[in-house]
Amino acid sequence: MAFDPLTAGLGLASAGIGAIAGIGANRTQASIANAQMAAAADQMKWNVLHGRDMAKFGEGGNIGARVAQGTWMPDIEFGRQKEASMFETGPLAERRLALATEGQRRGFGLANSAESKEITQRQNRDALKQTLAERQGQMMGMFGRIAPVDVNTLFT
């Protein structure tokens, strides 16, 4: 099969244009690759600079903390402790004393109330009955039967 001169000419022209286009595409790809590498290098440079800045910032913070702990922080802590101590010995102590006094006053009032006295007397009578019953049991063991004693008539 033979090519006619027009087809051969078009084929050669197409091959030439394709070769020129291929060279242009290779240049474009190379340009893109170079741009990507430049962007990556630029990003790496900024990351390094940012890391240095963060390290400087952290070191500055450490220095500042040490200076503060050695200079003005103890003064502030002393002031806080002083205020707390003044509060404990002042208003807080007065309040505690008032509460303790009120508690003693109420306790004294309850101890001297009629109900409290009656309960105490009843407990004393019960204890006396118990003691008397034990003694009468001993006497009955030695001498026989004894007349019962009403403890309620012993106290008026």
User: What is the Cα–Cα distance from 44 to 36, expressed in whole angstroms?
Assistant: 12
- Token pair, residue 81, equals 């402790």
Task: Classify 52 in phi/psi space as left (phi over 0), alpha (psi -120 to 50) or beta.
Answer: alpha
3-state secondary structure of 14: helix
- Token pair, residue 24, equals 């242009």
pLDDT at 112: 81
pLDDT tens-digit map of 103-152: 888 888 777 888 888 888 889 888 988 888 888 888 888 888 877 777 66
pLDDT at 114: 85
pLDDT at 6: 65
Dihedral sign, Cα of residue 90, residue 92, residue 98, residue 100: negative
Q: Are 136 and 146 in contact (CB under 8 A)?
A: yes
**Contacts with 129 (C-beta within 8 Å, 6 or more apart), sequence order:** 151
Confidence of residue 25 (pLDDT cuts 50, 70, 90): low
> b/e per residue, 1-31, with b = 16+ CB within 10 A?
eeeeeeeeeeeeeeeeeeeeeeeeeeeeeee
- Token pair, residue 97, equals 């004393």
Domain range summary for the chain, segments of one domain joined by +: 10-70
pLDDT tens-digit map of 45-79: 999 999 999 999 999 889 989 898 888 899 999 99
**Contacts with 146 (C-beta within 8 Å, 6 or more apart), sequence order:** 136, 139, 140
